[in-house]
Amino acid sequence: MTLHWWHITASYALVLGTFGALAVGAALRHRAAKRLLATLDPRGERA
Amino acid sequence: MDGRLTAGTGATDATRPGARSLHRFANPGRFLRATGRLMPFLWAAAVLVLGFGLVWGLVLSPADWQQGETVRIMYVHVPMAWLAMGGYTGLAVLSVMSLIWRHPLADLTARELSPVGAAATALCLATGSLWGKPMWGTWWVWDARLTSVLVLFFLWLGHAALVRAFDDAERGARAGAILALVGIVNVPIVKFSVDWWNTLHQPASVTRLNAPGMHVDILYPLLVCALGFSLLFGAVVLARTRAAVMERRVRALQLARARREDAVA
């Protein structure tokens, strides 16, 4: 792999990795909050 | 629904059509139901469009006659730059909604937007460095474009930190909104820095109105990637806002339960 392709790979990995982490983080936060809400208020399950 | 009186008219904010539609989604349940239906489509559209755009950009589009294969960094760098500036403009609009209409969802969305905007701006700077090293022979120069984007990154970080720095969330939101509105002056500076000053960074090529700046074989995959990243950015911000709405409801319920237990004890 040439140096140029290393730079391209690093760029794509950085962007996709960061956005992937943000998406997974948001999904985990959402799931945790939904589970807590369902425990505290069963009506929250409908949301 | 907010029914604050509008001075002098006797009408309420809630009776105005614009304010009415604006405050429809101030109801957390309504917001969660509406966005809950939208989210699967938004995630699917983001993955499909981005997947198609990245394959087009990485595999199918031609190499540049001058830059060679390195031009492919553009398909991630330019969308990050557009999201950094467009997202900040969105933050300013949310700040206006927050300061004028005191819309609770505008505060919450702004709070959840700024870390994602900071990430997009950091990625713009990082991918720009990775592109700059083989093309310019340097990772970084203090030219007007790069420096103004760095300032934009600090504005995003400042907003994210400021809204979380107060015990009273409303005061934090107001301070953040003021910072966002002061900082919006930097967005046209970023955009026009390449025209106003001599910079190592190239001038605008996609948004140049008088003549096409690049061949369609490169322009089209760039536009598809930009659309895909915009959908992903929107999906992440909306998912974070939904989580924040639920977390706020959880805190309110936990507080109510603790008060009930205190009263019983």
Collapse the DSSP code of B64 into the 3-class scheme (helix H, G, I; strand E, B; otherwise coil) and give the result.
strand
Q: Cβ contact (<8 Å) for A44 and B68?
A: no
Are the CB atoms for B259 and A46 separated by under 8 Å?
Answer: no
- The Cα–Cα gap between B190 and B151 comes to 9
**pLDDT reported for residue B55:** 94
State the count of interchain CB pairs (< 8 A) between A and B: 91
Give the number of other CB atoms < 10 A from CB of residue B49.
19
- Nearest CB among B80, B235, B246 relative to A33 is that of B246
CB contact under 8 A, B119 and A2: no
Predicted local confidence at residue B28, as pLDDT:
77
Mean pLDDT by 10 residues, chain B (265 residues): 36 52 70 88 96 92 84 94 96 93 89 96 96 91 93 97 91 93 94 84 68 79 95 95 91 87 82
Please tell me the predicted confidence (pLDDT) of residue B242: 93
Of A3, A12, A29, the CB nearest to B76: A12
Inter-chain residue contact A47 with B32, CB threshold 8 Å: yes
Cβ–Cβ gap A12/B58 under 8 Å: yes
Q: Does the distance separating the beta carbons of A23 and B246 come in below 8 Å?
A: no
Question: Which member of B32, B134, B232 has the closest CB to residue A4?
Answer: B134
What pLDDT was estimated at residue B159?
96
> So what's the pLDDT on residue B260?
85
* Integer angstrom CA distances of residue B111 from A43, B98, B107, B150, B165: 26, 11, 6, 20, 12
Q: What is the pLDDT of residue B230?
A: 97
DSSP assignments along B196-259, one per residue: HS--SSPPP-SS-SSS--S-HHHHHHHHHHHHHHHHHHHHHHHHHHHHHHHHHHHHHHHHHHHH
Closest CA to A33 of B251, B104, B182, B129: B251
Do the beta carbons of residue B4 and residue B12 sit within 8 Å? yes
- Segment 1-47 of chain A within 8 Å of chain B by CB: 2-5, 7-8, 10-12, 14-15, 18-19, 22-23, 26-27, 29-30, 33-34, 36-37, 40-41, 44, 46-47
Q: Which site among B38, B49, B250, B255 would you substitute to test the A interface, given the most A Cβ atoms closer than 10 Å to its Cβ?
A: B250
Q: What is the ipTM of this complex?
A: 0.88
